[in-house]
Structure 1
Amino acid sequence: MKGVLLVNLGSPDSTDPKDVKRYLDEFLMDERVIDKPYLLRAFVVKGIILNTRPKKSAAAYKKIWWEEGSPLIVLSERLQKKVDDLTKVPISLGMRYGNPSIKAGLQELADKGVDEVLVVPLYPQFAMSTTETVLVKAEEVRRKYFPQMHFTNIPAFYNHQDYVRVLTNSIKKELEGKEYDHLLFSYHGVPERHIRKSDITNSHCKIDGQCCSVDSPAHQYCYRHQCYETTRLVVAYLGLDAHQYTTSFQSRLGRDPWIQPYTDATIEKLATEGVKKLAVVTPAFVSDCLETLEEIAMEGKEEFIEAGGDKFYAIPCLNDNDEWVKVLSRWIDEWAMTKTVNA
């Protein structure tokens, strides 16, 4: 019997600093997030970050927390329910970090007799700290607890015409009747070394402004290329000129170089250059979360206004958008009928 496991990033169980600390410990100790040797990673995370960051992060979560709980969890559950209502196979939900866990999601499917699972990381672009860690963790759980199961995973869908169309339509709908000078595509940031580590050619990715536009097998796993390609495809649908949009990357950590340009610096730069009405979309996220609701919609807006901007529009993620639900449900049903994933 077939079934589907949707997997998102995850969230603390509450805004209590203890819960936030527990979540950050699991998240930051992932070797695909902070890809340093274990002892060094433990020293940085447990010896430094977890002694300072939980209270600050807890305060940030409190700003965006809903009565129902974490926005990311609530929105993921809404997506799961809508997809489950439209598809012919059972749909469960798991988080890479926190609850509900991947194990819990697989157990739910196993209890229904499922032995063939389509794992769907809810990330349009591939990255070792998102898609790869989900697939690795799911396989670890399968081997330990559900050896009878067989996995298939959905490929990165950043350039799928259905996804691009849905994303474009959501942007159009959100900006309908609003005047804006510039559209900023802000993606989650990753260290430059992640891009090079994911290069299956071991030579193509130079992060020099040119390699992402030159065809290469490396692009199959190149987060930077896939982000810029998402922007290019959406911009083509929207009919924007080069001066009407920018691509940037947010949420850097530590002193090592991360892919640029940085979102906070870009927002300030656009304001100082005369952009008065800025719209920001975050296509690396399917569900709104701390990085979109607090870092962009709150901090980003404040930075823009302080730098001389006037209007700031934070465009919601796809979340449980009905058009997106239909597309995802169709991909799942196609897999259920043909044993292939066409996303």
Structure 2
Amino acid sequence: MGTALAIPGVAFANTSCDGAQSVTITAPQPFLPAGTYPVVERPGDGQPSIAVPGSDQQIVYVPVAQLGQLGVPFETNQGGNPFQGTCGVPAGPTFKSIADGLDMDFNFDASGDSNVVGSTISQWDVANESGQRVEVRYGRGIQLSEGSRTRLTIAVPLNYVRVNKSKGGISGAHGNLSSFSGGLAVGLSVPLKPNWWVTPRLAYTITSADSTLGGNGEVVTASLASNLRIDAAGRGEVTLGNMVGHTRSVRTGIADQDKANFFKQQNTWFRNGIAYQLPIKGRALGRDTSIRASYVFTLGTGDKLAYRKIHEASISFGLRMREAEQRTDADLLRLGVLYTHANNEIVHKAGYDSVSLFVGYRF
């Protein structure tokens, strides 16, 4: 870990996304790399400054008031640490907890109990920062009674986020940073019609993270999703997905959080998506294959968010779903790639982009 975490004392949900100001150096200087730096208090006198990496792993605090005198071209941004978990960054726990509430690969024809395991590996970039995210997920669907299609769904997602070393990125000079989160989600999928299901869902997420990434914290999520399947022209089918959800940071005592500085972050989210699946020629493992393309748009409202509008587009290849095989011994394998983009509405030039590879197996 580097010695200069430039946003000291930030804990998950303990600071509003308005946050502290930041400064973007628009052109590199001999002593100051270009990039965005949060404004912090200089030790000793509390003067608003930016932390600059110096020689021998030392940190030099340059007062913001002196940047103009030194001829440094810069822009001032009003708050918003793009890594803070509650600010809606797509790699963060708050967004992931709400995103999981809408399944665009929904299994309309399931019967009996089933299990799903999946994994996602992402490479992401925010301004001049970069990092990786790894997710492992287990889900189980339980048919509540014989002859009933209503299903209890249980999901356990685990997420690891890493921020690579930086000599002057959006979080200031730092070594490798990391965040780990785990959760439990319980839902009830109810068929209103054979091609139309609704799923109310409750989820709890706990996070352990470096302070610059938001620190430790907890989030609870409530959501209601709708999945509608429509037969399309030819042999394809369209799935329409809609969801409304609410996230709220909480302090139960399970995670180590500072009670005095605890900040309640509440947001309402809307997710709308469309997916098109088309069977294709060729068989794999003795089953028909298909290709699926999808797009999902997410809008966050409520308390301040650095990322309010998030776009996700994916394409995947897998084993085609068939009614006769969606039983206890069913299997479904799908491989795909997901692209995610979001603009930061607080910090200038801090947009988020990521490419993810994912795999899921149903049994």
- What TM-score, normalized to structure 1? 0.27
Larger radius of gyration: 2
Higher helix share: 1
